[in-house]
Amino acid sequence: MRPLGDSPLVRNDKTLVLAHDHGLEHGPKQFSGVEERLDPREVFEMATHDAVTALAVGKGLAETYYPSYEDDVNLLAKLNGGSDLWMGDPYSPQNWSVDYAAELGADAIGYTIYPGVNRETDMFEDFRPVQENARDHDLPIAMWSYPRGQAIKEHRSPSTIAYAARIGLELGADFTKVKYPRDKEAMAHAVRSAADNRVLLSGGSKTSDRDFLELVEDCMDVGVSGLAVGRNVWQRDDPYDILDKLEGVIFEDATADDVL
């Protein structure tokens, strides 16, 4: 088994990734109400919070801003991503090579796979050299595993999420980010399906502090390794407050009630 305990993405065996690829994937409309965060420095600053073990961004943000933050932030290089102007079958183009990510000082690699889509076979084959090249550079690999396509009737059904988590293990990821499969037992099953692969909860769209923190608490209870969260942090009025609370629930065994 690959040792990840001393990886920069893991603290006390837990992980909190702050994800910020929304400018590419969804565009400036995502910054409605928090326009000042169109300046990526705002989000890089959040990533210096102790709770954040890595910041996931694409190439452009990384090469422009990461040099100023490399002492305080761990970089998870999100290699692929497309715009939501695109109407084609789900597929995520690779915009960044592993070699260049490593040269910029990335601490880990992130890659989206959509199992079940028409181009599943392309996506799996795209992932092969990414994964193997990351190993050459000794970089841990996080897979965003989001089943889609004709065969997927429910994106969050227990069996779909368990399969998503398993695919991360089978294809050679170290972390697999999945959506919440509606209930705690289903998440426990996904965690078991992933075996030694670490499951990260996908933060999803913005909800109330209580709903969000209770969800995270439930996940941590059943063995999830942590969280990859974007909008639930940087779209909030006070992202530092929610990061303080997440730190309690993820790294310090606190309950949602404790921190609220």
Q: How far is the CB of 50 from its own copies (least distance, A)?
A: 25
Instruction: Give me the catalytic one of 14, 78, 177, 245.
Output: 177
16 vs 62 by CB, closer to its own copies: 62
- CA dihedral of residues 4, 9, 11, 12 (deg, nearest 10): -40
25-61 burial, b at 16+ Cβ within 10 Å, e below that, comes to beeeebbeebeebeebeebbbbbebebbbbbbbbbeb
20 vs 245 by CB, closer to its own copies: 20
The answer to whether 135 contacts its own copies (rule: CB under 8 A) is yes
Q: Which positions from 73 through 92 interact with its own copies, judged by CB under 8 A?
A: 81-88, 91-92
Q: Measuring CA to CA, how many Å separate 188 from each of 161, 172, 195, 201? A: 11, 21, 11, 12
Q: Count Cβ atoms below 10 Å from residue 202 Cβ, excluding itself.
A: 18
Stretch that binds its own copies, among 60-68, 205-213, 222-230, 250-258 (CB under 8 A): 60-68
12 vs 68 by CB, closer to its own copies: 68
Q: Which of 58, 110, 140, 181 binds its own copies (CB under 8 A)?
A: 58
User: Do the beta carbons of residue 236 and residue 42 sit within 8 Å?
Assistant: no
Size of the site for its own copies (CB under 8 A): 76
Q: Which positions from 203 through 232 interact with its own copies, judged by CB under 8 A?
A: none
DSSP bridge pairs for 141: 109
Question: Is 177 a catalytic site residue?
Answer: yes
CA atoms in the 13 A half-sphere facing the CB of 133: 17
Q: Which positions from 152 through 181 interact with its own copies, judged by CB under 8 A?
A: 152, 159-160, 162-163, 166-173
Can you say whether the dihedral through the CA atoms of 189, 192, 194, 200 is positive or negative? Answer: positive
The answer to whether 1 contacts its own copies (rule: CB under 8 A) is yes
To the nearest 10 degrees (0 to 180), the angle between helices 158-171 and 184-194 is: 20
Of 142, 154, 167, 122, nearest to 225 by C-alpha is 142
Q: Which positions from 178 through 197 interact with its own copies, judged by CB under 8 A?
A: 189, 192-193, 195-197
The answer to whether 56 contacts its own copies (rule: CB under 8 A) is no
Instruction: Give me the catalytic one of 146, 163, 179, 180.
Output: 146
Q: How far is the CB of 57 from its own copies (least distance, A)?
A: 9
124 vs 240 by CB, closer to its own copies: 124
Type of residue at 176: T
Q: Which positions from 92 through 111 interact with its own copies, judged by CB under 8 A?
A: 92-97, 100
58 vs 248 by CB, closer to its own copies: 58
Active site residues: 146, 177
